[in-house]
Amino acid sequence: MRESARKTLERFRELVKTIKMYDEAAGVLYWDMRTMAPRGGLEARSEVVGFLSGERFRLAVSPEMGACLEELSVPEVFGELDLVNRRLVEECRKVYERNRKIPPERHREYATLTAQAEAVWEEAKDRGDFAMFRPHLEKIVAFLREFADCWGYEGHRYNALIEEYEPGMTVDQLDGVFALLKERLVPLVREIGQAPRKPDASFLKRRYDEQKQLEFSRFILREMGYDFGAGRLDRSVHPFAIGLNPRDVRITTNFRENDFQFSLFSSMHEGGHALYEQNIAPELAGTVLCDGASLGIHESQSRFWENMIGRSLPFWRRYFPDLKRQFPAELGDVGLDDFYRAINVVQPSLIRIEADEVTYNLHVLVRYELEKALFSGDLAVADLPEAWNGKYRDYLGVVPSHDGEGVLQDVHWSGGSFGYFPTYTLGNLYAAQFARALRRAMPDLDDRLSRGELGPIREWLGGEIHRHGRLFTPDELVRRVTGEEMNPRYLAEYFEQKFRPIYGLE
């Protein structure tokens, strides 16, 4: 490599490192605001987080970054880079180019708009008043249409938005995914609804002491291989996981004393995210590749642990006795099979974040179809509530009594996160497909689970997925791990094989 290119590479790596340092600082402040900070200081703190994010953004689109990228993208230079540096250049170039295409003043106007919109959304949701939120949402959609046109896309305009969250994913692919899921899940959910033999889940609503719940979550997290020497578990209003660096990956949970499932399964979910971040290869630390391959791939890790492990029968063969010891009064009269069936109740409902494993994807389907129509121009913001309610009736058989439990229920749109929802279902798809590959590599998986041998599972995930961070695109990663491209059939099969027996169907 020529001396000047070598120097540029060095300078580029410094820029990347600085960007990650801003991320890490903003991450600590974010975590602190949600877990520790006194209310009094939050206003000033928000401004500091905004400042750090702004500095990060400024660097990512700086002329200096542009000059580095230009020089490193020259074919004879690029060709000499190793894989990590090539991917770093690609990642940074993508962010640089996308953002340079938006006029800075439009960017600022949009940032102001979304900052205001969240507060308006919150009040509108509480009041169930869509009309109140509608003008803001109309402006946000208009901005994003404009931005999508600046960014450019092939095929559907919505592709330009999806790209932000799931690189390479397109409407064409998602249409296929959701068509198959609709075709197989809508009837499955209907059949389940009519099944004569329904689980009794009432014992999950008994009073479960918070401290004991916390202890059990910690125990399971340790069993999963979550490293408490490189993380911690705290309480926040909404559970989340945050990777500050690979040796400091924190998770939060919350407790509902009358809902045993909430804290444990949200801990396993966030624990799945955290295992990903804790096991990214050290050489990617301090770079923008120290991250998940995409939101969907990240979600696959949380869903895998939460549902495919945490809501499986073999897992509870091993851990149910421990759980009963922790809650002898609450679970003393409950058998393993009844417990397993109770934590796997499928029941259409109105609120996505409270949905079970199966119907969850129908909640996402509704949002996907609406977002796509908003960006193709087939649907006006004004018509959203009606379209929302119609799709809930058709796919889930339930209808919101007001918009607060309908079209206003999610925060995402107020922040302009269109194209984000599909990644939740992609997470489930990837998880099912990865699980199938794992089962192929480890035919005695269920026996191991029944013995609590979670170590080899985490190691397989670590070697196949975690260590690569963002080094491969989701598509590349799925092919590497499973030998084929993403296929929604595996999720549908997993659901059928799991839930038909639970509900005594066929």
**Nearest distance in Å: CB 64, its own copies:** 15
Strand order in the sheet with 233-235: 233-235, 248-253, 241-245
Question: Is 24 in contact with 96 (CB distance < 8 Å)?
Answer: no
Q: How far is CA 307 from CA 114, 155, 208, 266, 462, in A?
A: 33, 35, 21, 10, 18
Least distance to its own copies, CB of residue 56, Å? 12
Output the CA torsion 125→126→128→131 (10° steps): -60
**List of residues 6+ apart from 177 with CB closer than 8 A:** 425, 426, 429, 486, 488
Which lies closer to its own copies via its Cβ, residue 217 or residue 389?
217
DSSP helix/strand/coil, 57: helix
Query: Which of residues 75 and 229 has its CB atom nearest to its own copies in the complex?
Result: 229
- Rounded to whole angstroms, how far apart are CA atoms 228 and 136? 42
Q: How many residues does the chain have?
A: 506
Burial class of 158 by CB neighbour count within 10 A (0 to 12, 13 to 18, 19+):
buried
Least distance from C-beta 247 to its own copies, angstroms?
A: 3
The smaller minimum CB distance to its own copies, of residues 161 and 233, is found at 233
Contact criterion met (CB below 8 Å) for 308 and 439: no
- 229 backbone φψ class: left, alpha, beta (φ>0; ψ -120 to 50): alpha
Task: Look up tokens 């290119």; give the residue.
Answer: 5
Select 40 or 443, whichever has its Cβ closest to its own copies: 40
* Phi, psi angle pair for 106, to nearest 5°: -70, -35
In whole angstroms, how close is the CB of 230 to its own copies at the nearest point?
A: 3
Least Å distance between CB 46 and its own copies? 11
Give the nearer residue to its own copies in terms of CB position, either 244 or 461: 244
**Interface ranges with its own copies (CB under 8 A):** 18, 21, 24-25, 28-29, 32, 36-45, 47-48, 51-52, 227-232, 244-245, 247-248, 250, 285-286
Q: CB-wise, 202 or 211, nearer to its own copies?
A: 211
Q: Closest distance between its own copies and the C-beta of residue 38, in Å?
A: 5
Are 227 and 278 spatial neighbours (Cβ–Cβ below 8 Å)?
A: yes
Residue number, 39 or 197, with CB nearest to its own copies: 39
Tell me the residue type at 453: E
Interatomic CA distance for residues 438 and 427, integer angstroms: 16
d(CA 255, CA 262): 7
Minimum distance of its own copies from residue 228's CB (angstroms):
7
Active site residues: 270
Separation between Cα atoms, residue 301 and residue 461, nearest integer Å: 9
